Amino acid sequence: MICSLASLRYWGIKSESFSVQIDELKGYEVRHTRSLILLVLLLVIAACVPRVKPPVTAPQALTRIRPYQFPDFSDDMSYSSLETAINQSLNYLKRLNASTPFRFGPDTFTASHLIKSMEVFRELIREPPPVDELRKAIETSFWIYRSVGSDGCGKVLFTGYYEPILRGNLHPSTNYPYPVYRRPNDLIRISLGLFNPKYAGVRIIGRCVNQSVVPYFSREDIDSKERLNQRGCELLWVSDRVDLFFLHIQGSGRVLLEDGTVLHVNYDCSNGRPYRSIGRLLIDKEQIPEEEMSMQRIRSYMRDHPEEVERILNYDESYVFFRLVDRGPVGAIEVCLTPGRSVATDLRLFPKAALSFIQTEKPLVGEDGVIEYWETFGRFVLNQDTGGAIRGPGRVDLFWGDGQYAETTAGHMMHEGTLYFIVLKQLEEK
Protein backbone atom coordinates (compact mmCIF):
# COMPACT_ATOMS: atom_id res chain seq x y z
CA MET A 1 0.00 0.00 0.00
CA ILE A 2 1.32 3.43 -0.96
CA CYS A 3 0.54 6.40 1.26
CA SER A 4 1.45 9.95 0.21
CA LEU A 5 2.83 12.64 2.50
CA ALA A 6 -0.42 14.50 1.92
CA SER A 7 -2.29 11.55 3.43
CA LEU A 8 0.04 11.48 6.38
CA ARG A 9 -0.54 15.17 7.04
CA TYR A 10 -4.31 14.70 6.74
CA TRP A 11 -4.20 12.08 9.46
CA GLY A 12 -1.95 14.18 11.72
CA ILE A 13 1.33 12.28 11.12
CA LYS A 14 4.13 14.68 10.23
CA SER A 15 6.91 13.47 7.94
CA GLU A 16 9.57 15.07 10.22
CA SER A 17 8.49 13.17 13.34
CA PHE A 18 8.20 10.04 11.24
CA SER A 19 11.91 10.26 10.27
CA VAL A 20 12.88 10.96 13.88
CA GLN A 21 11.15 7.77 14.94
CA ILE A 22 13.18 5.83 12.37
CA ASP A 23 16.45 7.40 13.60
CA GLU A 24 15.65 6.40 17.16
CA LEU A 25 15.30 2.79 16.11
CA LYS A 26 19.06 2.48 15.44
CA GLY A 27 19.89 1.97 19.12
CA TYR A 28 17.57 -0.96 19.63
CA GLU A 29 18.19 -4.63 19.18
CA VAL A 30 17.08 -6.11 15.90
CA ARG A 31 14.00 -7.78 17.35
CA HIS A 32 12.89 -4.48 18.93
CA THR A 33 13.67 -2.66 15.72
CA ARG A 34 11.51 -5.02 13.70
CA SER A 35 8.65 -4.65 16.18
CA LEU A 36 8.83 -0.88 16.09
CA ILE A 37 9.06 -0.81 12.31
CA LEU A 38 5.99 -3.04 12.15
CA LEU A 39 4.18 -0.73 14.55
CA VAL A 40 5.07 2.32 12.48
CA LEU A 41 3.97 0.60 9.28
CA LEU A 42 0.65 -0.28 10.90
CA LEU A 43 0.22 3.37 11.85
CA VAL A 44 0.89 4.39 8.26
CA ILE A 45 -1.56 1.84 6.90
CA ALA A 46 -4.19 3.03 9.37
CA ALA A 47 -3.51 6.59 8.25
CA CYS A 48 -4.29 5.64 4.67
CA VAL A 49 -7.76 4.25 5.50
CA PRO A 50 -10.39 6.88 4.62
CA ARG A 51 -12.77 8.05 7.28
CA VAL A 52 -16.34 6.87 6.67
CA LYS A 53 -18.94 9.50 7.43
CA PRO A 54 -21.87 8.08 9.40
CA PRO A 55 -25.25 8.39 7.67
CA VAL A 56 -27.35 11.45 8.45
CA THR A 57 -30.19 10.75 10.88
CA ALA A 58 -33.59 12.44 10.98
CA PRO A 59 -32.62 14.86 13.80
CA GLN A 60 -29.64 15.98 11.71
CA ALA A 61 -31.34 16.24 8.32
CA LEU A 62 -32.96 19.65 8.85
CA THR A 63 -31.80 22.81 10.59
CA ARG A 64 -34.06 25.69 11.58
CA ILE A 65 -32.95 28.90 9.88
CA ARG A 66 -33.41 32.60 10.66
CA PRO A 67 -35.52 35.01 8.59
CA TYR A 68 -32.51 36.58 6.87
CA GLN A 69 -31.77 33.09 5.46
CA PHE A 70 -35.29 32.60 4.05
CA PRO A 71 -35.86 32.31 0.29
CA ASP A 72 -38.17 34.89 -1.29
CA PHE A 73 -41.03 32.33 -1.58
CA SER A 74 -41.95 33.36 -5.12
CA ASP A 75 -43.96 30.58 -6.77
CA ASP A 76 -44.10 29.91 -10.52
CA MET A 77 -47.45 28.06 -10.54
CA SER A 78 -51.08 28.78 -9.81
CA TYR A 79 -52.01 28.53 -6.13
CA SER A 80 -55.08 26.49 -7.06
CA SER A 81 -52.85 23.46 -7.67
CA LEU A 82 -51.09 24.14 -4.37
CA GLU A 83 -54.42 24.07 -2.53
CA THR A 84 -55.21 20.75 -4.20
CA ALA A 85 -51.91 19.29 -3.01
CA ILE A 86 -52.42 20.67 0.52
CA ASN A 87 -55.85 19.05 0.66
CA GLN A 88 -54.31 15.70 -0.29
CA SER A 89 -51.81 15.97 2.56
CA LEU A 90 -54.63 16.92 4.92
CA ASN A 91 -56.51 13.78 3.84
CA TYR A 92 -53.52 11.74 4.96
CA LEU A 93 -52.94 13.60 8.23
CA LYS A 94 -56.57 13.35 9.28
CA ARG A 95 -56.41 9.56 9.04
CA LEU A 96 -53.77 9.48 11.75
CA ASN A 97 -53.92 9.65 15.52
CA ALA A 98 -53.75 13.33 16.49
CA SER A 99 -50.62 12.73 18.58
CA THR A 100 -48.64 10.99 15.81
CA PRO A 101 -45.16 12.59 15.85
CA PHE A 102 -43.50 14.26 12.87
CA ARG A 103 -39.85 15.19 13.06
CA PHE A 104 -38.50 18.40 11.59
CA GLY A 105 -34.79 17.95 12.28
CA PRO A 106 -34.26 18.53 16.03
CA ASP A 107 -37.95 19.41 16.64
CA THR A 108 -41.06 17.25 16.79
CA PHE A 109 -44.67 18.22 16.07
CA THR A 110 -47.90 16.25 16.25
CA ALA A 111 -50.25 15.40 13.39
CA SER A 112 -52.82 17.80 14.85
CA HIS A 113 -50.25 20.61 14.75
CA LEU A 114 -49.40 19.83 11.12
CA ILE A 115 -53.11 19.90 10.24
CA LYS A 116 -53.46 23.35 11.80
CA SER A 117 -50.26 24.47 10.05
CA MET A 118 -51.61 23.39 6.65
CA GLU A 119 -54.98 25.01 7.25
CA VAL A 120 -53.45 28.34 8.28
CA PHE A 121 -51.19 28.34 5.21
CA ARG A 122 -54.10 27.39 2.94
CA GLU A 123 -56.00 30.47 4.15
CA LEU A 124 -52.96 32.62 3.33
CA ILE A 125 -52.98 31.60 -0.34
CA ARG A 126 -56.72 31.47 -1.04
CA GLU A 127 -56.53 35.14 -1.98
CA PRO A 128 -52.89 35.22 -3.03
CA PRO A 129 -51.02 38.12 -1.44
CA PRO A 130 -48.02 39.81 -3.09
CA VAL A 131 -44.78 37.90 -2.58
CA ASP A 132 -43.39 40.38 -0.05
CA GLU A 133 -46.57 40.18 2.05
CA LEU A 134 -46.57 36.39 1.90
CA ARG A 135 -42.96 36.30 3.00
CA LYS A 136 -43.73 38.62 5.91
CA ALA A 137 -46.67 36.43 6.96
CA ILE A 138 -44.47 33.33 6.82
CA GLU A 139 -41.76 35.09 8.81
CA THR A 140 -44.31 36.05 11.47
CA SER A 141 -46.17 32.77 11.86
CA PHE A 142 -44.00 29.92 10.57
CA TRP A 143 -40.68 28.28 11.22
CA ILE A 144 -38.49 27.36 8.25
CA TYR A 145 -36.14 24.39 8.20
CA ARG A 146 -33.52 23.79 5.51
CA SER A 147 -32.16 20.41 4.44
CA VAL A 148 -28.49 19.97 5.23
CA GLY A 149 -28.14 18.45 1.77
CA SER A 150 -25.45 16.08 0.58
CA ASP A 151 -22.61 18.39 1.63
CA GLY A 152 -23.89 19.56 5.01
CA CYS A 153 -24.41 23.05 3.54
CA GLY A 154 -27.77 22.60 1.81
CA LYS A 155 -26.83 21.23 -1.63
CA VAL A 156 -29.68 19.07 -2.94
CA LEU A 157 -29.83 17.20 -6.27
CA PHE A 158 -33.24 17.44 -7.95
CA THR A 159 -34.48 14.91 -10.48
CA GLY A 160 -37.96 14.43 -11.94
CA TYR A 161 -40.46 11.68 -12.55
CA TYR A 162 -43.71 11.45 -14.49
CA GLU A 163 -46.67 9.19 -15.28
CA PRO A 164 -45.94 7.16 -18.45
CA ILE A 165 -48.61 5.72 -20.74
CA LEU A 166 -48.13 2.17 -22.05
CA ARG A 167 -50.14 0.05 -24.45
CA GLY A 168 -51.38 -3.22 -23.01
CA ASN A 169 -53.84 -6.09 -22.87
CA LEU A 170 -55.43 -8.26 -20.22
CA HIS A 171 -54.16 -11.36 -22.03
CA PRO A 172 -50.74 -12.23 -23.47
CA SER A 173 -50.19 -12.26 -27.23
CA THR A 174 -47.43 -11.70 -29.75
CA ASN A 175 -48.23 -7.98 -29.59
CA TYR A 176 -48.31 -7.93 -25.78
CA PRO A 177 -45.71 -10.41 -24.52
CA TYR A 178 -44.33 -8.60 -21.44
CA PRO A 179 -46.12 -9.15 -18.10
CA VAL A 180 -46.73 -6.53 -15.43
CA TYR A 181 -46.59 -8.51 -12.19
CA ARG A 182 -48.52 -8.07 -8.97
CA ARG A 183 -46.96 -8.92 -5.59
CA PRO A 184 -46.12 -12.66 -5.57
CA ASN A 185 -47.61 -14.79 -2.80
CA ASP A 186 -44.22 -16.13 -1.73
CA LEU A 187 -42.67 -12.69 -1.15
CA ILE A 188 -42.17 -12.01 2.55
CA ARG A 189 -41.08 -8.90 4.45
CA ILE A 190 -39.27 -9.24 7.76
CA SER A 191 -38.90 -6.41 10.28
CA LEU A 192 -35.53 -7.05 11.89
CA GLY A 193 -36.39 -4.78 14.81
CA LEU A 194 -38.70 -7.53 16.08
CA PHE A 195 -35.61 -9.68 16.66
CA ASN A 196 -33.16 -7.06 17.88
CA PRO A 197 -33.94 -3.44 18.87
CA LYS A 198 -30.74 -2.16 17.26
CA TYR A 199 -32.28 -3.01 13.86
CA ALA A 200 -35.47 -1.03 14.51
CA GLY A 201 -36.89 0.23 11.22
CA VAL A 202 -34.80 -2.15 9.10
CA ARG A 203 -36.69 -4.57 6.88
CA ILE A 204 -35.58 -7.26 4.47
CA ILE A 205 -37.51 -8.85 1.63
CA GLY A 206 -37.07 -12.43 0.54
CA ARG A 207 -38.69 -15.85 0.19
CA CYS A 208 -38.53 -19.11 2.10
CA VAL A 209 -36.50 -22.00 0.71
CA ASN A 210 -36.05 -25.14 2.82
CA GLN A 211 -36.98 -23.24 5.99
CA SER A 212 -34.43 -20.52 5.26
CA VAL A 213 -35.02 -16.96 4.06
CA VAL A 214 -33.15 -16.10 0.86
CA PRO A 215 -33.16 -12.93 -1.29
CA TYR A 216 -36.10 -12.63 -3.64
CA PHE A 217 -35.68 -13.22 -7.36
CA SER A 218 -33.67 -10.60 -9.29
CA ARG A 219 -34.75 -8.87 -12.49
CA GLU A 220 -32.81 -11.45 -14.47
CA ASP A 221 -34.52 -14.27 -12.61
CA ILE A 222 -37.96 -12.82 -13.28
CA ASP A 223 -37.69 -11.48 -16.83
CA SER A 224 -35.00 -13.60 -18.47
CA LYS A 225 -35.34 -16.88 -16.56
CA GLU A 226 -39.14 -16.51 -16.15
CA ARG A 227 -39.16 -17.66 -12.52
CA LEU A 228 -42.65 -16.22 -12.02
CA ASN A 229 -44.06 -17.65 -15.24
CA GLN A 230 -47.45 -19.40 -14.91
CA ARG A 231 -47.78 -18.63 -11.22
CA GLY A 232 -50.78 -16.34 -11.60
CA CYS A 233 -48.88 -13.15 -10.76
CA GLU A 234 -49.65 -11.31 -13.99
CA LEU A 235 -51.85 -8.21 -13.79
CA LEU A 236 -51.70 -7.56 -17.53
CA TRP A 237 -49.29 -7.54 -20.45
CA VAL A 238 -47.69 -4.65 -22.35
CA SER A 239 -46.16 -4.19 -25.78
CA ASP A 240 -42.67 -2.86 -25.06
CA ARG A 241 -39.99 -4.16 -22.70
CA VAL A 242 -38.14 -0.87 -22.40
CA ASP A 243 -41.38 0.99 -21.64
CA LEU A 244 -42.05 -1.57 -18.91
CA PHE A 245 -38.61 -1.02 -17.40
CA PHE A 246 -39.19 2.73 -17.19
CA LEU A 247 -42.60 2.07 -15.64
CA HIS A 248 -40.63 0.33 -12.86
CA ILE A 249 -38.43 3.40 -12.51
CA GLN A 250 -41.37 5.84 -12.40
CA GLY A 251 -43.38 3.67 -10.01
CA SER A 252 -46.80 4.26 -11.58
CA GLY A 253 -48.44 4.76 -14.93
CA ARG A 254 -51.43 4.28 -17.18
CA VAL A 255 -52.01 1.30 -19.44
CA LEU A 256 -54.19 1.93 -22.50
CA LEU A 257 -56.10 -1.17 -23.63
CA GLU A 258 -57.19 -1.75 -27.23
CA ASP A 259 -60.83 -1.00 -26.41
CA GLY A 260 -59.87 2.42 -25.04
CA THR A 261 -60.04 1.45 -21.38
CA VAL A 262 -57.37 3.08 -19.21
CA LEU A 263 -56.00 1.15 -16.23
CA HIS A 264 -53.96 2.81 -13.49
CA VAL A 265 -51.08 0.71 -12.17
CA ASN A 266 -49.25 1.78 -9.05
CA TYR A 267 -46.24 0.68 -7.03
CA ASP A 268 -47.08 -2.01 -4.48
CA CYS A 269 -43.69 -3.34 -3.35
CA SER A 270 -40.27 -4.33 -4.67
CA ASN A 271 -38.12 -7.46 -4.60
CA GLY A 272 -35.81 -5.83 -2.04
CA ARG A 273 -32.77 -5.95 -4.31
CA PRO A 274 -30.63 -2.79 -4.57
CA TYR A 275 -31.36 -0.30 -7.33
CA ARG A 276 -28.50 0.02 -9.82
CA SER A 277 -28.51 2.77 -12.43
CA ILE A 278 -28.32 1.59 -16.05
CA GLY A 279 -27.44 5.18 -16.95
CA ARG A 280 -24.32 4.94 -14.81
CA LEU A 281 -23.53 1.58 -16.41
CA LEU A 282 -23.67 3.08 -19.92
CA ILE A 283 -21.51 6.01 -18.82
CA ASP A 284 -18.91 3.75 -17.21
CA LYS A 285 -18.82 1.54 -20.32
CA GLU A 286 -18.32 4.72 -22.41
CA GLN A 287 -21.41 3.95 -24.43
CA ILE A 288 -23.10 7.28 -23.62
CA PRO A 289 -21.13 10.41 -22.65
CA GLU A 290 -22.05 11.65 -19.18
CA GLU A 291 -22.99 15.09 -20.46
CA GLU A 292 -25.55 13.49 -22.82
CA MET A 293 -27.17 11.22 -20.25
CA SER A 294 -30.97 11.28 -20.06
CA MET A 295 -33.84 8.83 -20.17
CA GLN A 296 -34.37 9.73 -23.83
CA ARG A 297 -30.71 9.04 -24.62
CA ILE A 298 -30.91 5.63 -22.93
CA ARG A 299 -34.00 4.77 -24.98
CA SER A 300 -32.22 5.82 -28.15
CA TYR A 301 -29.18 3.68 -27.35
CA MET A 302 -31.25 0.58 -26.68
CA ARG A 303 -33.30 1.14 -29.81
CA ASP A 304 -30.07 1.19 -31.82
CA HIS A 305 -28.56 -1.79 -29.97
CA PRO A 306 -31.40 -4.30 -29.45
CA GLU A 307 -28.92 -7.11 -28.83
CA GLU A 308 -27.76 -5.35 -25.64
CA VAL A 309 -31.19 -4.60 -24.14
CA GLU A 310 -31.44 -7.71 -21.97
CA ARG A 311 -27.93 -7.27 -20.52
CA ILE A 312 -28.49 -3.58 -19.79
CA LEU A 313 -31.87 -4.01 -18.11
CA ASN A 314 -30.74 -6.97 -16.02
CA TYR A 315 -27.95 -4.85 -14.57
CA ASP A 316 -30.59 -3.31 -12.31
CA GLU A 317 -31.52 -6.17 -9.97
CA SER A 318 -34.37 -4.21 -8.40
CA TYR A 319 -37.87 -5.18 -9.53
CA VAL A 320 -41.22 -3.50 -8.85
CA PHE A 321 -44.56 -5.24 -8.35
CA PHE A 322 -47.73 -3.29 -9.10
CA ARG A 323 -51.38 -3.07 -8.11
CA LEU A 324 -54.41 -1.64 -9.89
CA VAL A 325 -55.85 1.56 -8.43
CA ASP A 326 -58.98 3.52 -9.32
CA ARG A 327 -57.10 6.79 -9.74
CA GLY A 328 -53.46 7.57 -9.91
CA PRO A 329 -50.70 8.03 -9.46
CA VAL A 330 -50.74 7.37 -5.73
CA GLY A 331 -47.78 8.36 -3.55
CA ALA A 332 -46.22 6.68 -0.55
CA ILE A 333 -48.73 8.31 1.83
CA GLU A 334 -51.64 6.86 -0.18
CA VAL A 335 -52.89 10.09 -1.74
CA CYS A 336 -53.02 11.11 -5.38
CA LEU A 337 -49.99 13.10 -6.49
CA THR A 338 -50.44 16.62 -7.84
CA PRO A 339 -48.39 17.46 -10.96
CA GLY A 340 -45.70 19.98 -10.16
CA ARG A 341 -46.64 20.07 -6.48
CA SER A 342 -45.74 16.60 -5.14
CA VAL A 343 -42.19 15.56 -4.33
CA ALA A 344 -40.50 12.34 -3.30
CA THR A 345 -37.85 12.45 -0.58
CA ASP A 346 -36.26 10.07 1.88
CA LEU A 347 -39.19 9.67 4.26
CA ARG A 348 -36.91 8.24 6.92
CA LEU A 349 -35.42 11.73 7.24
CA PHE A 350 -38.13 14.20 6.27
CA PRO A 351 -41.73 14.56 7.57
CA LYS A 352 -44.41 12.89 5.47
CA ALA A 353 -47.06 15.13 3.90
CA ALA A 354 -45.31 18.29 5.08
CA LEU A 355 -45.37 21.62 3.25
CA SER A 356 -42.05 22.43 1.57
CA PHE A 357 -40.46 25.00 -0.67
CA ILE A 358 -37.93 24.20 -3.38
CA GLN A 359 -35.57 26.21 -5.54
CA THR A 360 -33.98 24.56 -8.56
CA GLU A 361 -34.17 24.71 -12.38
CA LYS A 362 -36.76 23.78 -15.02
CA PRO A 363 -36.47 23.65 -18.82
CA LEU A 364 -38.01 25.82 -21.48
CA VAL A 365 -39.01 23.39 -24.23
CA GLY A 366 -39.58 24.53 -27.81
CA GLU A 367 -42.38 23.42 -30.12
CA ASP A 368 -40.09 20.72 -31.51
CA GLY A 369 -39.79 19.16 -28.05
CA VAL A 370 -36.14 20.22 -27.67
CA ILE A 371 -34.98 21.91 -24.47
CA GLU A 372 -33.82 25.44 -25.31
CA TYR A 373 -32.47 26.39 -21.88
CA TRP A 374 -32.97 25.93 -18.14
CA GLU A 375 -34.24 28.64 -15.79
CA THR A 376 -34.32 28.98 -12.00
CA PHE A 377 -37.68 28.73 -10.26
CA GLY A 378 -39.17 28.49 -6.76
CA ARG A 379 -42.26 26.54 -5.75
CA PHE A 380 -44.26 25.33 -2.75
CA VAL A 381 -44.58 21.54 -2.80
CA LEU A 382 -45.84 18.73 -0.56
CA ASN A 383 -43.73 15.79 0.62
CA GLN A 384 -45.98 12.92 -0.49
CA ASP A 385 -43.81 10.21 -2.02
CA THR A 386 -40.48 8.38 -1.90
CA GLY A 387 -38.35 6.20 -4.18
CA GLY A 388 -35.72 3.48 -4.12
CA ALA A 389 -33.04 5.83 -5.45
CA ILE A 390 -34.12 8.79 -3.30
CA ARG A 391 -31.90 8.35 -0.29
CA GLY A 392 -30.27 10.84 2.05
CA PRO A 393 -30.87 14.55 2.72
CA GLY A 394 -29.45 15.59 -0.65
CA ARG A 395 -32.06 14.08 -3.00
CA VAL A 396 -35.51 15.20 -4.18
CA ASP A 397 -37.64 13.84 -7.03
CA LEU A 398 -40.28 16.25 -8.39
CA PHE A 399 -43.44 14.79 -9.95
CA TRP A 400 -44.22 16.49 -13.27
CA GLY A 401 -47.48 14.75 -14.23
CA ASP A 402 -48.07 13.27 -17.68
CA GLY A 403 -47.64 14.35 -21.29
CA GLN A 404 -44.68 15.29 -23.45
CA TYR A 405 -43.40 18.17 -21.34
CA ALA A 406 -43.48 16.02 -18.21
CA GLU A 407 -41.62 13.20 -19.95
CA THR A 408 -39.00 15.53 -21.42
CA THR A 409 -38.43 17.35 -18.14
CA ALA A 410 -38.35 14.22 -16.00
CA GLY A 411 -35.99 12.53 -18.43
CA HIS A 412 -33.44 15.35 -18.37
CA MET A 413 -33.76 16.96 -14.95
CA MET A 414 -30.63 16.64 -12.81
CA HIS A 415 -29.99 20.01 -11.21
CA GLU A 416 -28.88 21.28 -7.84
CA GLY A 417 -31.09 23.36 -5.60
CA THR A 418 -32.31 23.84 -2.04
CA LEU A 419 -35.10 22.27 0.00
CA TYR A 420 -37.01 23.92 2.86
CA PHE A 421 -39.78 22.71 5.18
CA ILE A 422 -42.46 25.00 6.62
CA VAL A 423 -44.43 24.54 9.85
CA LEU A 424 -46.54 26.79 12.04
CA LYS A 425 -44.76 28.12 15.11
CA GLN A 426 -45.72 26.72 18.49
CA LEU A 427 -48.10 29.18 20.13
CA GLU A 428 -45.95 29.79 23.17
CA GLU A 429 -42.98 30.79 20.98
CA LYS A 430 -44.72 33.13 18.56
Per-residue confidence (pLDDT) for residue 200, from 0 to 100: 85
Strand partners, 110: 101
How many Å apart are CA 149 and CA 328, to the nearest integer? 30
Give pLDDT tens digits for 265-276. Answer: 999 999 999 999
End-to-end CA distance of the chain: 59
- Is 397:381 a contact under the CB 8 Å cutoff? no
In this structure, are strands 178-181 and 262-270 parallel, antiparallel, or unpaired? unpaired
- Is 336:407 a contact under the CB 8 Å cutoff? no
Per-residue confidence (pLDDT) for residue 27, from 0 to 100: 47
Q: Where are the beta strands (DSSP E) in 12-76?
A: 62-64
| Residue ranges for the chain with pLDDT beneath 50 | 1-28, 30, 44, 46-47, 428-430
How many Å apart are CA 415 and CA 308, to the nearest integer? 29
Per-residue confidence (pLDDT) for residue 51, from 0 to 100: 57
Per-residue confidence (pLDDT) for residue 5, from 0 to 100: 30
Per-residue confidence (pLDDT) for residue 32, from 0 to 100: 53
HSE of 214, CA atoms in CB hemisphere, 13 A: 7
DSSP states of 386-410 as a string?
A: --TT--STTEEEEE--SSHHHHHHH
- Is 398:413 a contact under the CB 8 Å cutoff? yes
- pTM of the full structure: 0.82
What lies within 8 Å, CB to CB, of 112 at 6+ separation is 98, 99
How many Å apart are CA 50 and CA 167, to the nearest integer? 50
